[in-house]
Structure 1
Amino acid sequence: MSKTLNLPKRVGPKPDTTHGLPHSQITQHGPDHIVDQMREWAFSLPCVENRDSLVSVPGARAMVMHDGAACNHDAFMIGREFAHIHPHPDNGSMHVQLPHHDALEVVEKGWGEHHTLVLAGRRPVGLVMVFSPRDEAELDTIKTILSRSYEAVTAQKIAA
């Protein structure tokens, strides 16, 4: 893995979010066709299954590694789940497990924020809420972030 994601700075103010559980994005959700493209891409990754999340709200779709896939078990948020995408009304935001330095870059560049449980000291830095992509350019950045999470789990590089 490269040392940095090299993300661009996210344009505009940070969306409004909740600070309890569930941890949700309230404003600035992307349009359905962009979020649908993100979901389609995410669940087409090799050995990734689309399942109910074990830790999110009803309707959240988890990116779960197939039981037969060789994985770094330290890279999961729970079980074999390394990310989940939130449903309406919190359309397209997601929680993603990332390596420490990547999570810090996502937050610093404005693409997400630390999970409420990280801020409360109940989870280590790495679990972030990534904001919903608002357009094609943001979708490309979100794919880069999800790719890094996938790489941390599988040790396989993929093209975003």
Structure 2
Amino acid sequence: MTQQSPREATVPPRTGPRPATTPQTPHVQLDQFGPAEVQAALWSRMAALAGVRTGPSGISLPSSRALHLDPAAAKGPADAFLVGTEFAHLHGDGSGSLHLALPTALAQEVIASGRGEQHPAVALGLAHPTLVMLFGPRDADELEVVWQLVRASHAYAGPA
């Protein structure tokens, strides 16, 4: 990603074939898992974001770890959140994939770049089109792209 503000990100294309995913909930990535150390580095960065507390997801499987904004910092629009003040969660299945909310134009860029896909609930009218799943990062370069998208989600939720 270019070094712009998180709200102005440009998403580079993902190389290789798309990973397999489930077409329904739970919406998970089924293959192309990244190394555990890359996933650990991503979570470490995510957990250190300003105004964030970590905890269980209010909407995902129990193994997922979520980012919740402090209520006073949650100034973003309703579609910046998955549930309550949760704006992102990292799946605990070893895939490194995560769900988050992004501004609509950026969510569309993510999908067009092959770095993620809309949650199936969007097609059913049960979720905002801002809800996307990012595919888990497979290496340090992909980690940087995913990290910038997490930062954009954080900014969209309010504190940036």
TM-score w.r.t. the length of structure 2 is 0.91
The one of 13, 20, 25 aligned to 2:24: 20
Q: 1:108 to 1:10 in 2, by over 3 A?
A: same
Superposed CA RMSD: 1.5
Larger fraction in helix: 2
TM-score w.r.t. the length of structure 1 is 0.91
Query: 2:115 maps to what in 1?
Result: 111
2:73 is equivalent to residue 44 of structure 1: no
What are the ranges of 5 or more consecutive residues in structure 2 without an aligned counterpart?
Answer: none
Per the TM alignment, residue 69 of structure 1 is displaced from its structure 2 partner at its CA by: 2.4
The runs of at least 4 consecutive aligned structure 1 residues that moved more than 4 Å come to 1-4
- Mapped contact 1:47–1:66 kept (Cα < 8 A): yes
The one of 60, 67, 79 aligned to 2:84: 79
Matched letter for residue 127 of structure 1? L
Q: 1:155 to 1:67 in 2, by over 3 A?
A: closer
What are the ranges of 5 or more consecutive residues in structure 1 without an aligned counterpart?
Answer: none
Task: Give the whole-Å Cα distance in 1 for the aligned partners of 2:63 and 2:7.
Answer: 34
Per the TM alignment, residue 115 of structure 1 is displaced from its structure 2 partner at its CA by: 0.1
Q: For structure 1, which segment, 125-134 or 68-77, has the greater mean C-alpha deviation from structure 2 after superposition?
A: 68-77
- Mapped contact 1:61–1:86 kept (Cα < 8 A): yes
Query: 1:58 maps to what in 2?
Result: 62
Cα-to-partner distance string for 1:29-74 (whole Å, 9 max, x where unaligned): 1110000000000000011111100000011001100233252242
2:84 is equivalent to residue 68 of structure 1: no
Per the TM alignment, residue 121 of structure 1 is displaced from its structure 2 partner at its CA by: 2.3
Task: Give the whole-Å Cα distance in 2 for the aligned partners of 1:2 and 1:83.
Answer: 15
Query: 1:34 maps to what in 2?
Result: 38
Matched letter for residue 86 of structure 1? H
Per the TM alignment, residue 4 of structure 1 is displaced from its structure 2 partner at its CA by: 4.5
Task: Give the whole-Å Cα distance in 2 for the aligned partners of 1:139 and 1:127.
Answer: 20
**Higher RCO structure, 1 or 2 (CA under 8 Å, sep 6+):** 2
Cα-to-partner distance string for 1:108-153 (whole Å, 9 max, x where unaligned): 0011000010122222211000000000000000011111111111
